[in-house]
Structure 1
Amino acid sequence: MPRPGRCLFAVLLLTLTILAAPRLSLAADALSFEPGDSIETLREKIRLNGYDFTVGETWVYNLPESKKKSLYTRGAIPSSPPKAASPRLTSLDAAAPLALPASFDWRDKGGKSYIGPVKNQGDCGACYAFAAAATAEGAYNVATGRTGAACADFSEQFIAFCLGTYGPYSSHFNGCDGADYDYAELLALTQVGAANETALPYTGVTPSGCNSSAYPVIRFKSWGRVACSDTDAIKATIMANGPVDAAVNVTSAFDAYTGGVYQDDQAGCPGSDCAYTVTNHAIALVGWNDNGDAANNGYWILRNSWGTGWGEQGYMRIKYGSARVSCSVAYLTYPLQTGGRLPGALKLLLQ
């Protein structure tokens, strides 16, 4: 029978070995962030996984779980997603004309910002409208050279309710009740257009109707998807057209993010059509940074719609591939196709 001293020594040695062991680095071995994780639990998981970001009690983290469910409202995945939902840009056709720099940021391009202030969707599940508006604003600003205070400011209220709840796209997106995976909100901006925020300010409350016929609109030329997980194609699309619309699968750590390079164990795009991989929140990507080692340290610059009190003044640095951020990415193109007021047939549909 071993002596107590030897047992104590063995336990001590094992403890020291665990503490000295390399932190988890592979997504397959990482500890997952779970609903209901306390801030202390999140910090311990971050430490054990070897991640480099911080968390705290943000307003989203502090929401009751029932409220969070209403905030994350991406629709159910179709039982049989289309095998080829739409043509997709790849690194071969998107990146060829562009020399991709190690870092790029539309918030500071030649000392000028082509993006307006961060917005806050509140507890309305209209993140898709904010991502679409940010993408539209960026595409319009980049194409027309608008910067700083002259940046466009499009109405999320118009997208969510006039085009969605009371409009012809309500089967795809509906006010605070979210959107499906088809990016019909971007299609709507090419077929109908975007109204200005001043014409219809965001309230996050479902209106009793929408008299949209009086709103001047800006219509976009086209929209498209970027090939899943094609980092170079996403970069080239951002650089050529402006910020892109993307989706993430939010965790408790994402809710609580306060700074650093976010990372989790949700790498890859496991959907039967990868663009239909499960996600629950829409955001925009405005740039990137390879951070000295693209394969291991590179990150996207993510623009959220949770106000400047979340993250890094409303933004997040998120590692390439984490939170499924590279699975479902789409873009808009400008110049103007048609403009002015809404076509007569669509006016009737929207009234």
Structure 2
Amino acid sequence: MQPFLSLLLALHVSLSTGNSFQKWTDAHGKVYQSEEERHSRSLIYAKNQLLVEKLSVADPDVVYDISGPFADLETSEFTSKLMSKRTVPQILEELREHSDQQSLPDSFDWEPKGLVAPVRNQKALGSCWAVSTAETVEGQLAKATGKLVPLSPEQLIECDASSDSTCAGGKGCADCGMFGGWPYLAYQFLQKAGGMFSEADWPYFKEGMFPCMPKGYSKALCGNHDDLYCRANSTKGQGPKDLCHATSGFTTPVSGWRSLSRNEEELAAQLIQFGPASVLIVADGLQFYHSGVFTGGLLGCQPDPSEGILGLDHAVLMVGFGKDHALFGHIKPYWRLKNSWGTSWGEQGYFRLERGTGRCGVNLAATVARVETSVVVV
């Protein structure tokens, strides 16, 4: 950071933010290792405060806010810590589900219908793919049985080393533990493994738990993470219980998956037909989102045309859709999406995204799990 800019930001911290940084750190339980780090984070906080003000002017229909959990992160840090920047599959068009055009309701939402579990917090791990996978399986299970049972993303993080050398034109795709992965491979892994455990039986990463990379992960596609500090015996999957190799105890089997339409009218009909869907998006513009129908922020939130779906970096759960009636009679159709950044972000952990324009690539890689109801074992 240039000295003059640092001086301006330091002045902004002292004059404009007052005690807001201290209040923010208290609210989020932030503890820094040194005064130097604290000062550095306060400057980033001040810079982000200016960015939020700029976003609010440029995009007045959306509320951006500095009070969320990522206010002390540079955009590059935010992207590297929480996004799954991995190659995604070019799913063959003939494998996609298509629906007859139907008259859609103005709004629909699976959350009040009991198919959506509480919002999770993936923390500083690239585990969105595992969370999104678990949540679409949860929806299928609840749809089949009437019982909403939170399932275990940790099972996928610790055990799933799936890879597909044929996807993305031969570039390859892989599930890489806490460094990213892809729901379609996770469905296939769960089908082969025999099923998915509940979150009660296999909790998510917590303090004192240091999982290793899944056995046999692709170093070519995931990078070499052999230097990762890990302690397999601190986990249920890789430790003494060895649940990664379990043959029983599953909450539900997974019998396969569906790839949904890119046509957003069809996709809305399929959401009603099949249940909550895992979708992949470009998410770096959502760091300071607080509420409203997101239409792209400063940069428009569209995948790089040269990358297509290869530029998608975050997995979330599509739970519904609706129409926002803004000022002067303007109507904004939207998707309602469940994130995995905790309830202090967005609309209690959810966000609304413009529908019908392919915003953030939301329609490019939507999938749902298949659950064989005749052998469900909840």
TM normalised by structure 2 equals 0.67
Q: Aligned residue for 1:329?
A: 366
Query: Structure 1's 296 and 247: CA in aligned 2 closer, same or farther, altered over 3 A?
Result: farther
What is the Cα deviation at residue 217 of structure 1? 4.3
**Among 311, 321, 342, which residue is 1:278 paired with?**
311
**Among 186, 189, 197, which residue is 1:195 paired with?**
197
How does 1:6-25 map onto structure 2 within 5 Å?
none
Kept in 2, the 8 Å contact 1:189–1:219? The answer is yes
1:117 aligns with 2:154: no
Could you tell me which amino acid in structure 1 is paired with residue 366 of structure 2?
A: V
Q: Aligned residue for 1:88?
A: 96
**Among 58, 63, 76, which residue is 1:53 paired with?**
63
Kept in 2, the 8 Å contact 1:237–1:331? The answer is no
Measured in 2, the distance between the counterparts of 1:215 and 1:174 equals 24
**Among 247, 261, 264, which residue is 2:293 paired with?**
261
> Greater relative contact order: 1 or 2 (C-alpha under 8 angstroms, separation 6 or more)?
1
**Among 26, 39, 48, which residue is 2:49 paired with?**
39
Q: Aligned residue for 1:66?
A: 77
Counterpart of 1:291 in 2: which secondary structure?
strand
Kept in 2, the 8 Å contact 1:268–1:327? The answer is no
**Among 290, 294, 299, which residue is 2:323 paired with?**
290
Q: Aligned residue for 1:6?
A: none
Query: Structure 1's 307 and 95: CA in aligned 2 closer, same or farther, altered over 3 A?
Result: farther
**Among 338, 347, 350, which residue is 1:315 paired with?**
350
Query: Structure 1's 185 and 85: CA in aligned 2 closer, same or farther, altered over 3 A?
Result: farther
Query: Structure 1's 152 and 145: CA in aligned 2 closer, same or farther, altered over 3 A?
Result: same
TM normalised by structure 1 equals 0.71
Per-residue CA shift, 1:129-164, capped at 9, x if unaligned? 000111111111122223xxxx111001012212x1
What is the Cα deviation at residue 169 of structure 1? 5.3
Counterpart of 1:189 in 2: which secondary structure?
helix
Kept in 2, the 8 Å contact 1:266–1:324? The answer is no
Kept in 2, the 8 Å contact 1:271–1:277? The answer is no
Measured in 2, the distance between the counterparts of 1:83 and 1:199 equals 33
Could you tell me which amino acid in structure 2 is paired with residue 279 of structure 1?
A: L
Q: Aligned residue for 1:345?
A: none
Measured in 1, the distance between the counterparts of 2:197 and 2:91 equals 33
Return the index of the structure with the highest Cα Rg. Answer: 1
Counterpart of 1:302 in 2: which secondary structure?
strand
Say what the alpha-carbon RMSD is for the aligned residues. 3.1
**Among 216, 221, 226, which residue is 2:250 paired with?**
216
Could you tell me which amino acid in structure 1 is paired with residue 286 of structure 2?
A: F
1:154 aligns with 2:151: yes
Q: Aligned residue for 1:234?
A: 267
The count of corresponding residues between Structure 1 and Structure 2 is 286
Could you tell me which amino acid in structure 2 is paired with residue 234 of structure 1?
A: L
Measured in 2, the distance between the counterparts of 1:338 and 1:161 equals 25
Stretches of structure 1 lacking an aligned partner (at least 5 in a row): 1-34, 342-351
**Among 67, 71, 86, which residue is 1:75 paired with?**
86
Could you tell me which amino acid in structure 2 is paired with residue 59 of structure 1?
A: P
What is the Cα deviation at residue 337 of structure 1? 6.3
Q: Which moved more, 1:313-322 or 1:278-287?
A: 313-322
Stretches of structure 2 lacking an aligned partner (at least 5 in a row): 1-43, 165-172, 213-231, 233-237
Kept in 1, the 8 Å contact 2:55–2:64? The answer is no
Query: Structure 1's 83 and 155: CA in aligned 2 closer, same or farther, altered over 3 A?
Result: closer
Per-residue CA shift, 1:3-48, capped at 9, x if unaligned? xxxxxxxxxxxxxxxxxxxxxxxxxxxxxxxx99723333323423
Could you tell me which amino acid in structure 2 is paired with residue 291 of structure 1?
A: D
Measured in 2, the distance between the counterparts of 1:239 and 1:159 equals 27
Kept in 1, the 8 Å contact 2:48–2:66? The answer is no
**Among 100, 105, 118, which residue is 1:101 paired with?**
105
Kept in 1, the 8 Å contact 2:87–2:310? The answer is no
Measured in 1, the distance between the counterparts of 2:374 and 2:73 equals 42
Q: Which moved more, 1:256-265 or 1:194-203?
A: 256-265
Query: Structure 1's 305 and 83: CA in aligned 2 closer, same or farther, altered over 3 A?
Result: closer
Measured in 1, the distance between the counterparts of 2:333 and 2:94 equals 28
